[in-house]
Amino acid sequence: MKPLFALVCAAAISLAVGTEHWTHNAPSDYEKAAMKRLAVRSDGRLALAPKFTEMHDASLPYLWAVVEDSQGRVFAAGGGPEAGAKVFEVAPNAPAASRAKVLATFTEFQVQALALDKQDRLYAATSPDGKVYRIVNGKAEVFYEPKAKYIWALAFNQAGELFVATGDEGAIHKVSATGQGAVFYKAGQTHVRSIAVDQKQNIIAGTEPGGYIVSVSPAGQGFVVYQSPKREVTAVAAHPKGWIYAAAVGAKSALPATPVLSGPAPTMAPVPAGTAGVAVAVQRAAPPPAAIPSMGTAGSGGSEVYRIEADGHTRKVWSHASDFVYSIAFDAQGRALLGTGNQGKIVRLDTELLSSVVVNASPTQVTALAAGKSGRVWAVTGNIGKLFATGPEAEASGTLESAPLDAASFTYWGRVALQGAGLTGVKVETRSGNHDDPDKGWSGWAQTPASGRIASPAARFLQYRLTLTAPAQGAAPEISEVNIARQEKNVAPIVEAIEATPPNYKFPPQSLTLTPNTNLTLPSMRGPRRQAPQPASMDAGSTTLNAAKGWRGVRWLASDENGDGLEAKVEIRGVNETTWKLLKEKTTERHVSWDATGFADGQYVVRVTVTDAPDNTPQNALTAMLESEPFTVDNTPPAIQALQAVRSGARINATWRAVDALHPIESAEYSVNGGEWTVVEPTTRLTDSPSHEYSLAIENAPAGEVTVAVRVKDTFDNQSAASVVVR
């Protein structure tokens, strides 16, 4: 972990084209990576996964159940719409060609559950219109028929009694060793989806659609231990320490989602045997649960896994927004393993806060898990139905190939720095290119030391590959963070346009006083979400100007591909001059205005020079320059010439000429004896020239001495006035 003062220093001296880093240390950083034989923990740690070996391809769409007997034989079962229901016997240590055989076939759709009694006799439950078969010496006979649409799970207690979880009437049947059975407990639910036997010989059952976890005593007394906010409890498993793990999936729309904890809860009374345990109406011929892809539609709402303590207290220990948990088993260290879909993952619960994705199987569902001998765990899958062995040893090696990393522009690569343990067992390779398909036109893979400089050529994209190899002795490698240093090639800014603003206006003063920010904002502890730098811009945008006689201004549009901060120098000269005069320098604003009354009338141009120096060293800073189109400075008002007025009785006739050196006359007005100003047209009617004649007839003029005043204004708002006295 970096010390806080290092983070503060890094924030203070950060440059847009300085050294930047890609840091991968969270599972989300590896979501698009291609991983083989590696486990990813929920805190981002990479390690070698448990060995995952395909033992048999059943050539079925789904395998739903797996068990191992005392002799080490493995039985897996499933089915499909066309293949029918089958049970396979697998000898793990036999050659692959003779390892597996079909032990039994059935006319029903599929085998949903398997169980073994103390004599290693195998029991298989079929669905739909399910029956329980006992298979002895390869011969299958009907052992018990619960008259139920579905059989979801089987479990034996220590007394050798078989419990059968059924739907669509949500009942658990108890069957004796002779095959005599009856309803043992009615859950008041459509389906009892999962069952297990705890150390006290209670039957732990999970239901659908209410999402209840129920503990049923040997006498048949039921008690709801927990009400999940999910719809369907797909798996329950009894831990040797007395805990119960349960997985629930699917969104619950109509039923309440308030948890009901175990213990003396006055709102949840014990349920007598043979009666409804929860006030939910039983539906006949209901559809199967949504989490069974072979028999129903795909569900939604993700999964949650709960751990129920020996005293009944329940807590959520894992959740996922989209993965569905189908099965729970325990590895040799007593850690819970979750078989999930629809991405074929096996998840290991390492602690109450940490979990690891230890398997990414090619089939899309891991439908069942079962602990075997010598710490091995068996897994069966759906889409396609296969049997796999998991652990207990770790893989000898594993690889991670990152997704192409986009630096957004041409970039120089620095060092790859790994954090973790056993890094001598890690091989690092990189390759680079300038388009997003690394398999076309990129450089070849180049090896880099675990904390060494990247040998791949500078480019826009980079990809890295990690190979972790277990040593002959010592700890296996683990990686907690991958850090890649990079620096974009500095590109000169661009001044795209300069615009002169209307005369006699200036930009308002900056209202905010900018002071250096001495604070530091730490990212979320759940991990920062990094974004590519956005191009910096000096865009004046919409601006309100203040009226100011004699002032001129310009604004400009500039940008920088690297996202560097920009500052500008603004200079001016007359079109017939050769020397530039400074107006303003080192401004980070996007405009400038100045008092032009000190400038001679005439045509001028402005030059804007923009630099990315604020975010680059002096040696690397680059500039761009643009000159404006010529614009006019005009501070001289038009001249009024030949003003005269003559009385003729009650009429006064006045004439004059207005002349401006640079711009058209905009308007003319007259006033009599200081009265209101009245607009007057030129003799041409149109006001469109720097020179106009005016002729005015004032009717009903006052008797005696009269003062006639006139004023004219050019298009730059320069104005002059004159008067004449008529007697």
pLDDT at 252: 82
* Measured CA distances, 510 to 559, 596, 668 (Å): 21, 20, 38
pLDDT at 283: 33
Domains of the chain: 19-38+398-488 (2.60.120), 50-394 (2.130.10.10), 494-510+533-633 (2.60.40.10), 639-726 (2.60.40.650)
Residues 136-143, mean pLDDT to the nearest whole number: 93
Residue 592: enclosing H or E segment and its boundaries?
Answer: strand 591-595
pLDDT at 8 over 70: no
Dihedral of CA atoms 59, 60, 63, 69 in degrees, nearest 10, equals -50
Do the Cβ atoms of 102 and 143 come closer than 8 Å?
no
Query: Comparing 66-70, 253-257, 510-514, which segment has the lowest mean pLDDT?
Result: 253-257
pLDDT at 473: 86
Q: Where does the pLDDT of residue 536 fall: very low under 50, low under 70, confident under 90, or very high at 90 and above?
A: low
pLDDT at 713 over 80: yes
φ, ψ dihedrals at 494, nearest 5°: -125, 130
Q: Which two tokens stand for residue 472?
A: 């002959």
* Measured CA distances, 309 to 238, 262, 306, 315, 352 (Å): 11, 10, 10, 8, 13
Q: Are strands 132-136 and 122-127 parallel, antiparallel or unpaired?
A: antiparallel
Do the Cβ atoms of 149 and 136 come closer than 8 Å?
no
* Measured CA distances, 29 to 32, 39, 43, 658 (Å): 8, 14, 11, 76
Which stretches of 309-404 are assigned E, i.e. beta strand? 314-320, 324-330, 336-341, 345-349, 355-360, 365-371, 377-394, 397-401
Those residues whose C-beta lies under 8 Å from the C-beta of residue 673, and which sit 6 or more positions away, are: 702, 706, 707
pLDDT at 374: 87
State how far the Cα of 711 lies from the Cα of 355, in Å rounded to an integer.
87
Q: Nearest-CA neighbor of 636 among 581, 596, 678?
A: 596
Summarize pLDDT for 219-259 with one digit per residue, the tens. 999 999 999 999 999 999 999 999 999 999 998 874 443 33
- pTM of the prediction? 0.72
Q: Nearest-CA neighbor of 499 among 545, 534, 459, 456?
A: 545
In angstroms, the first-to-last Cα distance of the chain is 98
Q: Where does the pLDDT of residue 143 fall: very low under 50, low under 70, confident under 90, or very high at 90 and above?
A: very high
Residues 506-534, mean pLDDT to the nearest whole number: 59
Q: What does pLDDT average to over the chain?
A: 88
State how far the Cα of 215 lies from the Cα of 208, in Å rounded to an integer.
15
Summarize pLDDT for 72-99 with one digit per residue, the tens. 999 999 998 877 899 999 999 999 889 9
Residues 308-321, mean pLDDT to the nearest whole number: 94
pLDDT at 694: 97
pLDDT at 16: 57
pLDDT at 84: 87
pLDDT at 544: 86
pLDDT at 155 over 70: yes
- Please, what's the largest Cα pairwise distance for the chain? 142
Summarize pLDDT for 282-300 with one digit per residue, the tens. 333 344 554 454 333 345 7
pLDDT at 643 over 60: yes
| Residues forming a β-bridge with 720 | 712
Q: Which two tokens stand for residue 60?
A: 């079925």
State how far the Cα of 498 lies from the Cα of 266, in Å rounded to an integer.
78
pLDDT at 129: 86
pLDDT at 320 over 90: yes
pLDDT at 12 over 50: no
pLDDT at 527 over 50: no
State how far the Cα of 204 lies from the Cα of 314, in Å rounded to an integer.
14
pLDDT at 509: 86
Do the Cβ atoms of 504 and 546 come closer than 8 Å?
no
pLDDT at 7 over 80: no
Q: Quick one: how far is CA 165 from the chain centroid? A: 40
What one-character-per-residue DSSP string does 667-724 give? Answer: EEEEEETT---EE---TTSS--SSEEEEEEEETTPPSS-EEEEEEEEETT--EEEEEE
pLDDT at 378 over 60: yes
